[in-house]
Amino acid sequence: MSYRITEDCVSCGDCSVVCPEKAIDDGYLPRTGDGTSSAAGAAWTDSPWRGYRINDSCTSCGNCVEVCPTGAIVKDIIE
């Protein structure tokens, strides 16, 4: 995997739509006290999963980097 998603992710889903390998998984949304799903932009600390994560199917095409509105997808220097 050569990219990672930072805490700047707003869970818009644009990256997962353009990924030809379907290498970007959407995590589950944390639950609120009443059992309903909280908003996609919930605090990262509320869930063990971030909104989206890049799996091992990534081919480093860069489509996700180009469409990310917040610049949250960056080159992973630890490979």
Residue ranges of domains in the chain, CATH in brackets: 1-79 (3.30.70.20)
Element (H, E) at 58: none
Structure tokens at 68: 């990310």
Q: pTM of whole model > 0.85? A: no
Span 15-32, pLDDT tens digits: 999 999 999 987 655 555
The whole-number average pLDDT for the span 33-60 is 61
- Closest by CA position to 25, among listed 2, 46, 54: 54
Residue keyed to tokens 């949250």: 72
